[in-house]
Amino acid sequence: MAETLTFTSLYRYDTRRYGITLPVLLMLGDRVAEFKAKLDTGASLCVFARLHGEELGLDIERGSRQEIATVMGNFVAYGHPVRLSVLDLEFDSTVYFAADTGFNRNVLGRQGWLDRIKLGLVDYEGKLYLSDYTEATEAG
């Protein structure tokens, strides 16, 4: 039996570039950090460069400490609740900021982003389909 999903938005990305890069807005009060992040379905958490948390006025080390293990080694990050917006979908999420000022990667992971959306991907065509998980957009 075939399954059908419908989505509220379509984002086209460049398949010639490494990874799938999405525009991100983090908001806390009247402060905003705007940058790009990679979609990473293998990442457990949303992890961003320390700089972006500092742009929001956060004292990074006052967050929830988390040691994160990767194939390249471990690093420490601190979780903070923020408003996260990606492609006009907004959520209250806890995201993590790296302790190390030299950490320059930004990833959208499972907890805090992927667990709040419906995602469709046709990589051959560079198409990413997206909807809020709570929206009733499934057919049948």
Distance CA 23, CA 110 (A): 17
Q: What share of residues in the chain are helix, strand, coil (percent, to 5)?
A: 10, 50, 40
Domain positions in the chain = 20-132
Q: List the chain pLDDT tens, one digit each, 140 residues.
A: 888 889 999 999 999 999 999 999 999 999 999 999 999 999 999 999 999 999 999 999 999 999 998 877 889 999 999 999 999 899 999 999 999 999 999 999 999 999 999 999 999 999 999 999 887 644 44
Please name the residue ranges forming H helices in the chain.
50-55
Q: Which CATH number does 20-132 carry?
A: 2.40.70.10
